[in-house]
Amino acid sequence: VGAPSEQWREYQGSPTGTDIECEGWRQEAALRMLNNNLDPEVAEKPEDLVVYGGTGRAARSWDAYDGILEELRELGDDETLLVQSGKPVGVFETHETAPRVLIANSNLVGKWDNWEHFHELESRGLIMYGQMTAGSWAYIGTQGIIQGTFETLAELARQHYPDTDGLEGKIVATGGLGGMGGAQPLAVTMNGGVCIAAEVDEERIDRRIETGYCMEKTDDLDEAIRRAEEAAAAGERYSVGVHVNAADMLEGMLEREFVPDVVTDQTSAHDELEGYYPSGYTVAEADDLRETDPAEYREEALATMERHVRAILDLQDAGSVAFEYGNNIRGQVRDHRDMDHAFDYPGFVPAYIRPLFCRGKGPFRWVALSGNPEDIHRTDQAVKELFPGKDALHRWIDLARDQVQFQGLPSRVCWLGYQSEDDEDGLTERARFALRINDLVADGEIEAPVVVTRDHLDAGSVASPNRETEAMKDGSDAVADWPILNALLNTAAGADIVSVHDGGGVGIGNAIHANNHVVLDGTDLAAEKARRVFTTDPGMGVIRHADAGYQEAIEEATASGVTIPMEDD
Ligand code: NAD
């Protein structure tokens, strides 16, 4: 990727305040979001342009990063910049309501859509891994995933421990304390439980401790289990990062006949070369092997993954609640190690999230471009005022305010969907929220514009047969027309940045997904865009799941007046 850009060194994160260097706030928002993705506080390895999730990058090279900034500074209010796998490739005259930036990352034609071909193109500088929010400039650090992890574990607790207060007294064993996985210990303790998390890279554990996501660390599994059991017995919240390979840790638990209540994993298993560490090597030794013998590295990593999945299945047999947390570890060992029963434990979407998707509910996030935390606190208050009956949402906002540190630009995440309990104004939940924020910006109660964006993991924006669309009712798991229609519709509705990616959390060839940003600058134009985008975007979730035959989605469509042609067929 070349040597880090001088501009990036000078920025050290996103510019803040109300002075802008671009022609308008929409272009400025893109410039700030890109730099926020690469803020050393936010990104995992910013000097390599790596934001999170294995090698998820924000730009293809440092030259391309400089090129994007240059174009954004000059971009007019009626122009659109095209970014192809992290490189600026064209600027066209469009119109004011059109997106300012359109992005396509990592997409390959079906027959060539695999890691081998991707790595070949990457080594020739022709493509970039965009992950999900890395290449679409919507990453906000570990705070971005925390609510999703919190809600998933809360739903698990409701389903499996109906008589318990959340995860109180329960022990969750997992692996991976990277950009996303680092949210796990805090999400467990926010639910009242105890977390033991394996991580091979000690610096990552330290980073999670420094930022309040994890409480302690140890090299000693016996000590971790002892402390976890003591905390669970006392009903106390506790988390510990264990400096060990996750496969070794789970096998160690089986040897000790210690069965955690819940077992999952968020190592970057979707990428066997650059995301997952094989057992028997230190991080430095493995990094050397990757350089000198990538084929051997892959073999070693996949062999460890097989042991890892086997240990998860054995723990499930011994009584743990097991689920895959979206890193495609089951798909990896099924496809490369012929382990047919890898899918004998479920993915988190069918297990805990799909009913929300049917109603158009998904995680969306907003970012204060001012850099002023007070702006987010004002939005927290606005969410609570707008949705007075939603107790879980209020609890989340209060917990987030107390326990989630801001990283980079102050941001917040929450799950809202299509219909509101009180829909007398005909607005979706997300649109009502965005319009309120736009008013607060117009009134000067919020200092500078706010960007509303979301994860690619949303109700109607992703096709991913091993994750978001695993085991769809009608078998349409691999149909990728839906995310493409989602991106086209976001563009038609006037989102300010729209992107389509291949790969993401499950690796090249395993998913297609789309993202959008809307800049709320207090203008009527922003209100018009917000009203449209935050209706069409969650609406895609409703129609996608109704089309697949989910009754909840059909009911949502009927209740909310979402038009579904041929619905009686
Ligand atoms: P990351 O690359 O930032 O972090 C992965 C971490 O795992 C690193 O710290 C690495 O040192 C550690 N690791 C790798 N192999 C290990 C092993 N064998 N034992 C112990 N530690 C090991 O990635 P991330 O952003 O945290 O994402 C992790 C995975 O979760 C990815 O596959 C990602 O696609 C997936 N993901 C899931 C969701 C979701 O919603 N469930 C969201 C985002 C990402």
> Which pLDDT belongs to residue 420?
56
> Which pLDDT belongs to residue 393?
86
Q: What mean pLDDT value characterizes the chain?
A: 95
Residues 6+ apart with CB under 8 A from 409: 13, 14, 16, 32, 36, 39, 140, 367, 368, 369, 371
User: What are the pLDDT digits (tens) for 319-342?
Assistant: 999 999 999 999 999 999 999 999
The crossing angle, in degrees rounded to 10, of helices 429-442 and 373-386 is 130
Domain ranges within the chain, ordered by starting residue: 6-123, 143-346, 355-498+512-560
Residue-by-residue DSSP string for 341-374: GGGGS-BHIIIIIHHHHHTT-EEEEEEETT--HH
Which pLDDT band, with edges at 50, 70 and 90, does 422 fall under?
A: low
Residue 569 has pLDDT above 60, yes or no: no
286 C-beta closer than 6 A to ligand 1: no
277 C-beta closer than 6 A to ligand 1: yes
323 C-beta closer than 6 A to ligand 1: no
User: What are the pLDDT digits (tens) for 167-203?
Assistant: 999 999 999 999 899 999 999 999 999 999 999 999 9
pTM: 0.89
Strands (E) across 400-460 are located at 411-416, 450-454
Q: Which residues of 265-296 are buried (b: 16+ CB within 10 A; e: fewer)?
A: bbbbbbbbbbbbbbbebeeeebeebbeeeeee
Q: Which residue has the higher pLDDT, 243 or 355?
A: 243
Stretch 226-251: mean pLDDT, rounded? Answer: 98
249 C-beta closer than 6 A to ligand 1: no
Stretch 385-409: mean pLDDT, rounded? Answer: 89
515 C-beta closer than 6 A to ligand 1: no
Residue 387 has pLDDT above 70, yes or no: yes
- 86 and 130 Cβ atoms separated by less than 8 Å: yes
Which pLDDT band, with edges at 50, 70 and 90, does 421 fall under?
A: low
Q: Is 355-498+512-560 assigned to CATH 3.40.1770.10?
A: yes
User: Is 267 annotated as ligand-binding?
Assistant: yes
> Which pLDDT belongs to residue 192?
94
CB neighbours (10 Å) of residue 206? 16
What is the Å distance from ligand 1's center to 218 Cα? 19
Stretch 500-521: mean pLDDT, rounded? Answer: 97
Please give the number of the atom of ligand 1 that sits closest to the Cα of 246: 19
Residue 8 has pLDDT above 60, yes or no: yes
What DSSP element (H or E) covers 62?
helix 62-74
Please give the number of the atom of ligand 1 that sits closest to the Cα of 44: 3
Please give the number of the atom of ligand 1 that sits closest to the Cα of 245: 19
Stretch 80-92: mean pLDDT, rounded? Answer: 98
Strand pairing of 411-416 and 362-368? antiparallel
User: Is 199 annotated as ligand-binding?
Assistant: yes
Q: Is 143-346 assigned to CATH 3.20.20.20?
A: no
Please give the number of the atom of ligand 1 that sits closest to the Cα of 328: 32
User: Is 268 annotated as ligand-binding?
Assistant: yes
> Which pLDDT belongs to residue 417?
87
What is the Å distance from ligand 1's center to 269 Cα? 7
User: What are the pLDDT digits (tens) for 134-160?
Assistant: 999 999 998 888 888 998 999 899 999
> Which pLDDT belongs to residue 426?
84
- 538 and 418 Cβ atoms separated by less than 8 Å: yes
What is the Å distance from ligand 1's center to 5 Cα? 27
Stretch 534-547: mean pLDDT, rounded? Answer: 97
DSSP 467: T
- 137 and 33 Cβ atoms separated by less than 8 Å: yes
CA distances from 18 to 10, 121, 372, 379, 507 (A): 18, 40, 11, 18, 39
What is the Å distance from ligand 1's center to 271 Cα? 10
Give catalytic status of residue 414 as yes or no.
yes
